[in-house]
Structure 1
């Protein structure tokens, strides 16, 4: 039996998963580059092989194969990316079935998690608290009409197939035609590009151009819920759920509407959040995350982005992530099956039980 990883050579996810296998007394996984899969190379598997699908991100060559040639930092092309990605997932699934290999994750779950509209609908149907969503908008004028009809002054407009906050817009409107949009998308003569510094647009003409450029790929629009604060900064939680159990949690704080760490967010004090929520509140927060992950029963790991709302009494799931385990140095929550383990070692233990006796912490 061999563990096979579809990933990117040198990518931190693949490197950390391989290290977790070695520390657990398992052989080095065999890495199949995403570029090979996307070019249609046959996936060679043997009966009994275990196949892990990792993120195709952080690889310009894979990005070009997924959404066409162009600068990897450009915003857009999400619909083409999604079609190509899900077609590749289907080929991987078929190859595993023919070979008698076992997938460590369900390809349909992954496909749903990479479509914000489908994942929101699945969570909502299961009774998981999520921000209210508006109907699809094809352009800025339609979005404003939908917002006015719903009485919404503040929304998040998200590319349906985006990740890492690419193209996400925190939009605020006010009487008198005033608008304010905060986004990672920077407007350049060559189009929209991701920026590591958040951009603010306050001209309605600029905001309309921004939304109109994003809308053709599909937008998921949600009510902007007010987040709770800790130490004067808004925060949310990334909670990793492994085997149905919330095992790892990190606090992401920011002075902007977006808490992503690569956009200026910072890790916060988990202990301070737990104390603010109290034992019952913390237990309820983790329960919401477990319920969200349960909506994807074929996925041994789900990364859940949890909003803690102002007042610290209510919660809402704003994202679910198929590859949300890249949290270097973060150890499992005390009292869980991952206590003292990083996210990858915890997954090796959960999905490769034969490794448990040799697993080290």
Structure 2
């Protein structure tokens, strides 16, 4: 049968994001498919310049400014979006803009979908890990997580941390980075030799650039130079957990949690320590991974439960993307990161039995936020 379309009346939606970006386009598609009117789009440059306006009765969704070059320039003061530096300034300006936007929305009599007060924690890996650990969510060991942890001032600090038990192999991450920007997988043999695997490319004058090619630096001098250049933006250091593998490739999971429930999952595999798809990673076989979890004596539902517990640490954010790290043997799981805008997974439909079958991540959010008045458990579109 065909489910009747949603009535045109309803909340007036606004999305703050990149008007020309994929995220906004996918969200608008989800609204149209659900029979809802399209959202009014406000760009991040409008917000950052203080020109954004809202009206009573509007419902405002915040999305990532990540694909907007103008927003990136305003947030980081960089002349090239490939530059790595500036994440500390990005964080300061973005969180301030989000707080100002929240005030403007409240003064206008509009409402926000999510609580922007959680963004300063979500976008600081040190604070996020500290919150997760305090909530009992398993995370990689880190001497730099939590609000009172010592700050990493440069390579000398990282070098001393690798002398601690269990930390000969660590990830050094920008505290406010995303998409593997500035991430280094650092290893030492304990006898003074170091190497780092990273997508960071050193340019003229010591400038750093994000590259689509993962490379390895085997000179401590080079590794130290990169870490020292990144340190002013803030660094997070965590144990490099031995991940599970599939087909000889490192594997982890991105799990999307909508309204407290894990609804979507994708297995990411790579020949490098970074599984990000833009760095040569590829989607793996999720069914095979689930079978490996069962064969190891664990349960798929337990893996999803870890993700839901991580999302519960941020109750004011309706949708997060959780990076789940399965340990070697697929028996144990830890949360690497919780991403406020971790839903950009085009073409991925919901997990069976999790309330979002047949829906992509954006459609699942629309269905959770604006349930169909005639819905009886279907997806809200044509059904047999």
Q: Same fold per TM (> 0.5)?
A: yes
Partner residue in 2 for 1:7: 17
TM-score by length of 2: 0.91
The unaligned stretches of length 5 or more in structure 1 are: none
Partner residue in 2 for 1:187: 202
CA shift at 1:171, angstroms? 0.2
Secondary structure at 1:148 match in 2: coil
Partner Cα distance (2:164, 2:179) in 1: 30
Matched, 1:18 2:28: yes
Partner Cα distance (1:338, 1:215) in 2: 41
Partner residue in 2 for 1:305: 323
CA shift at 1:355, angstroms? 6.8
Partner residue in 2 for 1:360: 381
1:53-100 Cα shifts (integer Å, max 9, x gaps): 000011111001001132111001111100100010011111111122
Secondary structure at 2:275 match in 1: coil
Q: 1:201 aligns with which of 217, 220, 228?
A: 217
Native 8 Å contact 2:256 2:322 kept in 1: yes
Matched, 1:265 2:281: yes
CA shift at 1:360, angstroms? 2.0
Partner Cα distance (1:185, 1:355) in 2: 50
Secondary structure at 1:353 match in 2: coil
Native 8 Å contact 1:349 1:355 kept in 2: no
Alpha-carbon RMSD across the aligned residues, in angstroms, is: 1.4
> Which has the larger displacement, 49-58 or 274-283?
274-283
Q: 2:63 aligns with which of 54, 58, 64?
A: 54
TM-score by length of 1: 0.97
Secondary structure at 2:162 match in 1: helix
Partner residue in 1 for 2:188: 173
Partner residue in 1 for 2:125: 116
Partner residue in 1 for 2:88: 79
1:4-58 Cα shifts (integer Å, max 9, x gaps): 00001110000000000011011110000111111111x3222221100000011
Q: 1:255 aligns with which of 271, 274, 282?
A: 271
Q: 1:105 aligns with which of 108, 114, 135?
A: 114
Partner residue in 1 for 2:178: 163
Answer 1 or 2: which has greater helix percent: 1
Matched, 1:347 2:365: yes
Partner residue in 2 for 1:326: 344
Secondary structure at 1:13 match in 2: helix
1:149-173 Cα shifts (integer Å, max 9, x gaps): 4452100000000000000000001
Change (3 A) 1:107 1:356: farther
> Which has the larger displacement, 277-286 or 326-335?
277-286
Partner Cα distance (2:235, 2:299) in 1: 32
CA shift at 1:130, angstroms? 0.1
Partner residue in 2 for 1:223: 239
Partner residue in 1 for 2:303: 285
Partner residue in 2 for 1:237: 253
The unaligned stretches of length 5 or more in structure 2 are: 1-10, 145-150
Partner Cα distance (2:167, 2:262) in 1: 33
1:133-154 Cα shifts (integer Å, max 9, x gaps): 1233211112111221445210
> Which has the larger displacement, 277-286 or 64-73?
277-286
